[in-house]
Amino acid sequence: MYSEEGKFSIEVCFSPLSWPLHEKSGSVVIVTDVFRATTAMCAAFQNKVKSIIPVAEIAESIAWKEKGYIVSGEREGKTLDCADFGNSPFNFMEPRLQGKTVVMNTTNGTQALKMVKEGNNHVGIGAFTNRDAICNWAIDLQLPVIIFCAGWKNRFSLEDTLFAGAAVEYLLANNDYHTMCDSAIASYELWQRAKSDPLAYIEKAAHRHRLRKMGLDDILEYSLQLNTCKCVPVLHGHELIDLNV
């Protein structure tokens, strides 16, 4: 399962700090920030948002806002002054957003996206809610896959790693993939520990406690459900669009 040759490799990058070790052009990169950016992006596309412009700098958000765009964003879980709303997936379910472009600024997720934009890769957005859809997109491309965990302030994050493990599991079930990457193996193994009850399991995660402290833990149950949507958000120029539309 882990060592066969002549197959596409799977790697997991635990945080932006490790990205230079994993980066290689001509790969499929699935970026994940389960709490909360990439889950929110999937929620947005399920709600028929037209596109999302991910930005990393607050100055960029302000500039887009001044041009009349809808802007979401937060730092440390708090809505930015320039933003219309924060990054809870629930904020992206409002009917008024349908057909619109939203500019999203987040603490970790957008930073990771900015890093992968530089390379010559196919970049998709992964969350528990669209695991099968985004993995099937990756499989169709027939290339090595790197799952890029946004992490938390450059640190390893348990929830992002569990998603990575769920994606590794799905990809390894396909005969075209193998992995020799210890972090991919660890992700898979942690997911095996968690999958029977991810919500109870994630109670152990430090980020869970951070979210609770900030009163942002209402999205946990929603965020940990597998395959509640079929969207395939991918980076197209400077925007994310849903290939499933």
Sheet containing 177-178: give its strands across. Answer: 78-79, 70-75, 101-105, 51-55, 239-242, 233-236, 122-126, 28-32, 145-149, 8-13, 177-178
State yes or no: residue 167 binds a second copy (CB under 8 A): no
Q: Contact letters (x/-) for a second copy, 123-162, by CB under 8 A?
A: -----------------------------xxxxxxx--x-
C-beta of 49: minimal distance to a second copy in Å? 30
C-beta of 53: minimal distance to a second copy in Å? 29
C-beta of 64: minimal distance to a second copy in Å? 31
Nearest to 47 by CA among 238, 234, 233: 233
Of 13-21, 27-35, 95-103, 136-144: span binding a second copy (CB under 8 A): 13-21
Q: Within positions 96 to 115, which residues make up the interface with a second copy, using CB under 8 A?
A: none
Cβ partners under 8 Å of residue 205, min gap 6: 157, 158, 159
C-beta of 163: minimal distance to a second copy in Å? 13
Q: For helices 109-117 and 37-46, what crossing angle results, to 10°?
A: 80
Distances (CA, A) of 108 to 7, 111, 156, 234: 31, 5, 12, 18
Helix (H) or strand (E) holding 209: helix 206-213
Cβ partners under 8 Å of residue 46, min gap 6: 93, 129, 228, 229, 231
C-beta of 202: minimal distance to a second copy in Å? 10
Choose, by CB under 8 A, the member of 24, 75, 78, 193 that binds a second copy: 193
Choose, by CB under 8 A, the member of 15, 27, 61, 129 that binds a second copy: 15
C-beta of 235: minimal distance to a second copy in Å? 26
State yes or no: residue 186 binds a second copy (CB under 8 A): yes
> 205 phi and psi, to 5 degrees?
-80, 140
Q: Which is nearer to a second copy, 49 or 149 (CB)?
A: 149
> 9 phi and psi, to 5 degrees?
-80, 150
State yes or no: residue 21 binds a second copy (CB under 8 A): yes
Chain centroid to CA 39:
7
Residues forming the site for a second copy (CB under 8 A): 2-3, 14-15, 17-18, 21, 152-158, 161, 180-183, 185-186, 189-190, 192-193, 204-207, 209
